[in-house]
């Protein structure tokens, strides 16, 4: 299958390209050209922009589905619901829960992926927990918190058939540094989250191999001029990526812009979306906790933020409007940076010859008109 995409604008890694044709060969991007053969198949998106498919590396659920449902149907539902939102790749994300529920969630993802996902494609499982501490527990259930256990993790990894690609923990827990070294050596992205660790503990964790901070500013100790804390470590260490929920509620717009200025391409936009995403206000469930969504904001009964209902493309729109940076630069915070955090940027995250042809078509207001996964159009707006 070979065709050419015609469009007014293409968002590339370092620039925008105007009024050209982009070749797609099977599931890969080819080269740009100013003219095509007379018998070539041309998909004409004149008047629109072609951007890389978005990659949500932290999503629990959407549209009434949740990974912790422990059902393949939920994984399929999430895959299909995020496709019209411009997401082509995602990490099904768990919560701190019982071993029984975690096993069911892992098995459900494995089953759904083996069956074949019809929408956005899974790039592996993200285990958010259970190795956290209580002070910044958020919507994680503290009755299951415990110290990291490599053999326990290996059981989950075996169940997942090596499908776990990311795990989050609090580095101040006993045995964390040994765990971080071992899991990093397995090629898994170790992330710091729901933690009250000191700046020094975080630096030690980064030295040991932890290379990501989960939902920056949320679920962690903040910056103090005498104790930089977790946030200070995330912002000042150039080795680590940092996730940001860019909805304007979890993080103030000016702080989001500051984080973007400091972290640059090490900033990854995420949603942390839960089942209430794309649903009306009302009562929902996040893991074992009842959640109330009002005005699109989900909170536990105690008032804590409970994930989000953000659409990743809206996070991109927000940062674009707040920062004033070029669109191609901001867009890659939701595509290339997430891929790079997982070591997948040679294959995914941007429009470049030889990469997997994940892309979206957007109008001038960044509304999604079409989404293609590996060169195949899987969604077109009616």
Residue 7's CATH number: 2.30.40.10
Residue 39: give the domain boundaries. Answer: 2-51+349-380
* Cα of 36 vs its chain's centroid, Å: 36
Report d(CA 322, CA 258) in Å as an integer.
10
pTM: 0.97
Question: What is the structure's pLDDT at 306?
Answer: 84
Query: Does residue 107 share a domain with residue 168?
Result: yes
Q: What pLDDT, on the 0 to 100 scale, is given for residue 1?
A: 84
Q: Quick one: 174 and 315 in the same domain?
A: yes
Residues 152 and 295 in one domain: yes
pLDDT of res. 51: 98
Read off the CATH number of the domain in which 163 is found.
3.20.20.140
Task: Provide the pLDDT for residue 300.
Answer: 86
End-to-end CA distance of the chain: 24
Which of 153, 156, 167 minimizes the C-alpha distance to 104? 156
The helix/strand/coil state of 147 is coil
Distance between CA atoms of residues 366 and 171, nearest Å: 39
Residues of the chain with pLDDT under 70: none
Token duo for residue 310: 């953000």
Contact at 8 Å (CB) between 192 and 171?
A: yes
The SS3 assignment for 332 reads helix
pLDDT at 327: 98
The pLDDT of residue 289: 85
Q: Does an H or E element contain 23, and which?
A: strand 16-25
Q: Do both 301 and 197 map to the same domain? A: yes
Query: What does the pLDDT read at residue 63?
Result: 97
In this prediction, residue 304 carries a pLDDT of 83
* 30 and 130 together in one domain: no
Distance CA 41, CA 180 (A): 50
Hey, how many other C-beta atoms are within 10 angstroms of the C-beta on 179? 26
Do residues 298 and 358 share a domain?
no
Question: Per the structure block, which two tokens stand in for 9?
Answer: 């604008």
**Under the phi-then-psi rule, with left for phi > 0, alpha for psi from -120 to 50, and beta for the rest, what region is 366?**
left
355 and 306 fall within a common domain? no
In terms of domains, do 9 and 86 share one?
A: no
**Predicted pLDDT at 302:** 82
Q: What is the pLDDT of residue 47?
A: 97
Q: Is 88 exposed, middle or buried (0-12, 13-18, 19+ CB in 10 A)?
A: buried
The CA distance from 89 to 338, in Å, is 10
Q: Choose the catalytic residue: 56, 260, 272, 314.
A: 272
Quote the pLDDT of residue 369.
98
Give me the number of domains the chain comprises. 2
Which pLDDT score is estimated for 382?
Answer: 85
- Alpha carbon distance 152, 148 (integer Å): 8
- 281 catalytic per annotation: no
Among 105, 126, 104, 108, residue whose Cα is nearest residue 117: 108
Phi and psi at residue 379, to the nearest 5°? -145, 135
Say whether both 47 and 59 belong to one domain: no
**306 and 370 assigned to the same domain:** no
Q: Cα 156 to chain center, whole Å?
A: 21
**Same-domain pairing of 45 and 59:** no
The answer on 75 and 157 residing in a single domain is yes
pLDDT value for 374: 98
């Amino acid at each position: 299958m070979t065709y050419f995409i015609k469009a007014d604008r293409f968002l590339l890694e370092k620039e925008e390209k105007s009024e050209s044709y982009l070749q797609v060969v099977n599931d890969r991007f080819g080269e740009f050209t100013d003219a095509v053969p007379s018998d070539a198949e041309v998909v004409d998106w004149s008047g629109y922009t072609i951007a890389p498919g978005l990659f949500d590396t932290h999503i629990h659920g959407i549209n009434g589905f949740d990974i912790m449902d422990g059902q393949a149907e939920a994984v399929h539902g999430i895959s299909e619901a995020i496709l019209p939102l411009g997401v082509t790749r995602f990490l099904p994300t768990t919560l701190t829960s019982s071993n029984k529920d975690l096993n069911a969630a892992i098995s459900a993802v494995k089953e759904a992926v083996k069956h074949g996902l019809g929408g956005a494609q899974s790039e592996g499982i993200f285990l958010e927990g259970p190795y956290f501490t209580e002070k910044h527990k958020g919507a994680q259930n503290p009755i299951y918190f415990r110290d990291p256990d490599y053999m326990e993790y290996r059981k989950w990894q075996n169940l997942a058939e090596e499908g776990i690609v990311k795990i989050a923990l609090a580095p101040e827990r006993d045995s964390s540094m040994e765990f971080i070294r071992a899991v990093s050596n397995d090629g898994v992205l170790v992330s710091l989250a729901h933690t009250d660790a000191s700046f020094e503990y975080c630096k030690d964790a980064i030295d040991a191999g932890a290379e990501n901070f989960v939902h920056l500013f949320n679920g962690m100790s903040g910056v103090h001029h005498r104790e930089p804390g977790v946030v200070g470590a995330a912002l000042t260490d150039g080795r680590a990526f940092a996730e940001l929920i860019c909805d304007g509620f979890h993080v103030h717009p000016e702080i989001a812009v500051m984080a973007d200025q400091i972290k640059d391409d090490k900033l990854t936009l995420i949603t942390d979306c839960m089942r209430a995403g794309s649903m009306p206000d009302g009562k929902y469930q996040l893991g074992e906790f009842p959640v109330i969504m009002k005005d699109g904001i989900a909170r536990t009964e105690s008032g804590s933020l409970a994930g989000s209902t953000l659409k990743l493309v809206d996070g991109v729109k927000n940062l674009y409007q707040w920062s004033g940076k070029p669109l191609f630069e901001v867009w890659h915070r939701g595509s290339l940076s997430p891929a790079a955090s997982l070591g997948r940027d040679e294959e995914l995250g941007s429009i470049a010859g030889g990469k997997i042809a994940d892309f979206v078509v957007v109008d001038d207001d960044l509304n999604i008109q079409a989404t293609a996964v590996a060169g195949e159009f899987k969604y077109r707006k009616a």
